[in-house]
Amino acid sequence: MQFLIQLIIGGLMVGAIYALIGMGFSLIYRSSGLLTFAQGEYFMLGAFVGYTFFVILDLPYPIALAGVIVVMTGVGFLSERLLIGPLLRRGSSPIHIVLATIGLAIFLQNAAMMIWGSEGFHMPSVMGEMPVNVGGVYILPQNVAIVAIMLGLMVALHFFMNKSKLGTALRAAAQDKLAAGTLGINVPLAVGLTWGIAVGLAGIAGMLIAPIYGVNAHMGLLVGLKGFAAAVVGGYGSIYGAVLGGLLVGLVETLSSGYIDSSMKDVIVFAFLLLVLFLKPTGLVPNIMLED
């Protein structure tokens, strides 16, 4: 039983990271109707930016985390304004835009290697690196913080989208761009801001996981794919679905690693994705945009 609980705790931690990335996928889909394959590299870039602020510049952790949020939100906003937006306005097909995001992912990965090198780095945990023994189950404080922060961000995003004027404008622009424009909402700006929020979430995930898995230029590939799986399992376009999907994908990964074979965990995760698509193609949660 202790072994099972240990695996579940690990699964929730990993699943929280997938949930943050999946929430970004869903936000981008709701705002632009697009699928991006750069989300994993945004996650990687957030880890490097966090390492720079926290380790190299020796800033306090809260300030470093705030810096990651600001930088990555700006990167997301500029990605949409300088790349995706112009392609949409020129009438590029969805497949061309998907290819553009793949090119962006390759660019970000190589840019990271040019700036920080191809060697990996270790980021110390501000909460300590020794696990706490709770009834025979060893829990890293960082794991608890990751799950708590993910849930806190989900709640904050809910209230931002539903209770603030800016959030309401972003929802309106995502749901009906033409109607939103006639009401005076700056739709291109709203879409750019939504991309910024989505990329900011991936950046936060990267900084949170860095003390556990380290920082390197290749860390985003599989994590990005599993974040996508989380969004699809939950219901592509649903924020709450991305959270549910992320936690389920994380649990499937750790349980299969513990009880079957760690070398098979990725195969089993994507088999789980295919099973969900076969049984419920729309995902587990209705495709909604943070509505009351």
Q: Which domains does the chain have, with CATH numbers?
A: 2-279 (1.10.3470)
The rounded distance, in Å, linking the Cα atoms of 200 and 71 is 8
The predicted pLDDT at position 291 comes to 47
Find the DSSP H helices in the chain. 2-32, 39-51, 61-79, 85-89, 94-116, 141-163, 165-175, 177-182, 187-213, 220-234, 239-259, 265-279
The torsion defined by the Cα of 104, 102, 254 and 260, in degrees rounded to 10, comes to: -150
| pLDDT band of 134, cuts 50, 70, 90 | confident
How does pLDDT run across 59-103, given as a tens digit for each residue? Answer: 999 999 999 999 999 999 999 999 998 998 888 888 899 999 999
The predicted pLDDT at position 286 comes to 65
Nearest 5°: the CA angle 88, 91, 96 is 75
String of DSSP letters for 235-278: -TT-HHHHHHHHHHHHHHHHHHHHHT-GGGHHHHHHHHHHHHHH
How does pLDDT run across 204-223, given as a tens digit for each residue? Answer: 999 999 998 899 999 999 99
How does pLDDT run across 222-255, given as a tens digit for each residue? Answer: 999 999 999 999 988 888 999 999 999 999 999 9
Q: What pTM value is reported for the model? A: 0.92
Q: Which residue has the higher pLDDT, 238 or 12?
A: 12
